[in-house]
Structure 1
């Protein structure tokens, strides 16, 4: 079973930060990708969360099947169906959805869950492990490659090292499970104990599992220079979620520089999916269409 001690974590954190300060290579070796960069465009179902959410008082105005149809209508070849929006989550339902998408010519990049691996409550931690493991299996049925996961937040009275230790051990155990299904767990830079890029790289270094990588969310760093922080993570990305806005520390939201983001991915020879995850306050169909149109010119078609 995958485990890491707090003592080992402390040495990893120290060594990782020290190497960053000296300009040496940080974290685990970057993913080796032969050939040229290949960015394949997709749309994340989360972009349509207000239309798909069936857990609110108002009934949803879009089904997951309609989401797939709409994306196919854009001329794309892939979607990321977020786990939250499936009204039925049985294995049979996953197989049925995979078939539906296959007939539309759509690949399923993977899926995304909203777990918390920093909780000090042992019972809750067990349930979170089960949640991720269940969706690893469902992702495999869907034909997906990655499951987007979160680390979690720092609980009051907890130390960062304690939270990191629990998170690392939980991710490692889930990676062992994911290995049985050929699925990769993709940790997102999603605030909490991953809000700081150096803290996130400490996790990456400690886990160092073949079924682990980064879900690079381009809009989640609220730092002074989010582009620089994204560049540090890009070598470890196994999937990318692109947001159309950035929010640097101390500034208002600003449009994302899509050209710069694509260039960053090309620089590290990224080969994989780039899923548009639209969060801007506008009609998601308009926002996603505009982003995909620009991205197609930047990545050479994006299918």
Structure 2
């Protein structure tokens, strides 16, 4: 059993305020420092020099400013999460993506971050039985992840893929990629909520994948049957269920069972609240982290 979990937040939880300029990233860092959170991970939302989240197009002075702000506030930056598509059959496109992700490894080093999540496919899934396509692109994904992980190892950085993007969101596909890459510094960013997007039971999938977890994301969703008509603002799971983000603890995921699965593992490390609900994000973060911590009290 373990209670050695350090809770914090993903910067994505504050997207509604960061994207409008209502808060700056240094202000988010100060908010985290004053909250129950003990760390912050940075979720990159594109290679845009004007983005509040540091990325490979950012002014180096801004990157240095964010690292200094986090250090001054005593808020460790614990994970850098970036999108990527490592499944292309076009060698030139694939190589460009690999080199781009390596630049993010360099950025993580500049920020003092030793953990990094990179996606391996676009977020959108494929219709019908996509197993043949998965088998086709698996060697390409594995080779790219291995190359990136080996580069990251020279900088003391652990890389990971998340159960994110419908095509590789299932627990088994994540594990297959991890085992095939077979690098000690390649693991998974384990999002306890994302499994419902492919209609898996979170506590079952969490138990299967937590041995490979680099960090854990706590997230919650409201779930409604496929034949329900909940109105605007919902999206569909692979099997057609309606999903909407919730404050952690307010949704329909059995987070107590998820917590038991984590406690029964030997996971010790960082867990981040990733709030995607409709409520004010500061309220969602405040209540979400309090609930998540209570599960391990």
- TM-score > 0.5, shorter chain as reference: yes
What is the match of residue 48 of structure 1?
Answer: 14
Match of 1:199 in 2: 173
Of the structure 1 ranges 152-161 and 259-268, higher mean CA displacement relative to structure 2 is found in 152-161
Q: Give the whole-Å Cα distance in 1 for the aligned partners of 2:90 and 2:16.
A: 31
Q: How far apart, CA to CA, are the structure 2 residues paired with 1:98 and 1:64?
A: 11
The C-alpha deviation readout for 1:115-143, integer Å capped at 9, x for no partner, is 11112232221221122111111112222
- Of stretches 71-80 and 181-190 in structure 1, the one that deviates more from structure 2 is 71-80
* Structure 2: runs of 5+ lacking an equivalent: 46-51, 224-236, 244-250
Tell which deviates more after alignment, 84-93 or 228-237. 84-93
Name the structure 1 match of 2:76.
107
Residues 127-178 of structure 1, C-alpha deviations (whole Å, 9 max, x = no match): 2112211111111222212111112157899832221111111100000110
The equivalent of 2:256 in structure 1 is 259
Secondary structure, in 3 states, of the residue corresponding to 1:119?
A: coil
**Counterpart in the other structure of 1:170:** 144
TM-score (norm 2): 0.80
**May I ask how many residue pairs the two structures share in their alignment?**
261
Give, in angstroms, the shift of residue 198 of structure 1. Answer: 1.9
Which residue does the alignment assign to 2:53? 86
Pick which of 212-221 and 188-197 moved more: 188-197
Task: Measure the CA separation in 2 of the matches of 1:196 and 1:296.
Answer: 26
**Could you say which residue in structure 2 is the equivalent of 1:286?**
283
1:29 aligned partner: none
CA distance change for structure 1 residues 160 and 224 in 2, over 3 Å: closer, same or farther?
closer
Residue in structure 2 matched with residue 229 of structure 1 by the alignment:
205
Q: Which moved more, 1:155-164 or 1:269-278?
A: 155-164
- Residue 68, structure 1, aligned to residue 29, structure 2: yes
d(CA) in 1 for partners of 2:96, 2:263: 38
Tell me if the contact between 1:64 and 1:81 (Cα under 8 Å) persists in the aligned partners.
Answer: no
Ranked by relative contact order (alpha carbons within 8 Å, sequence separation 6 or more), the top structure is 1
Sort the Cα spacing of 1:227 and 1:246 in 2 relative to 1 into closer, same or farther, 3 A.
Answer: farther
Q: CA RMSD in A?
A: 2.4
Q: Secondary structure at the match of 1:171?
A: helix
CA shift in 2, pair 1:267/1:281, >3 Å: same
Which residue of the other structure, out of 139, 156, 161, is the alignment partner of 2:108?
A: 139
255-264 or 86-95, which moves further after superposition? 86-95
The secondary structure found in structure 2 opposite 1:234 is: helix
Would you say the 8 A contact 1:186–1:239 is kept in 2? Answer: no
* Stretches (4+) displaced over 6 A: 154-158
| Structure 1 residues 256 and 120: alpha-carbon distance in aligned structure 2, compared to 1, 3 A threshold | same
Mapped pair 1:38 → 2:17: no
Specify which of 231, 238, 243 is matched with residue 214 of structure 2.
238
Structure 1 stretches lacking a partner, 5+ long: 1-34, 54-58
SS at match of 1:111: strand
Query: Is 2:117–2:161's contact at 8 Å kept on the other side of the alignment?
Result: yes
User: Secondary structure at the residue paired with 1:102?
Assistant: helix
Alignment CA distance shift 1:152-1:67 (3 Å) = same
Q: Per the alignment, in what secondary structure is the counterpart of residue 84 of structure 2? A: coil
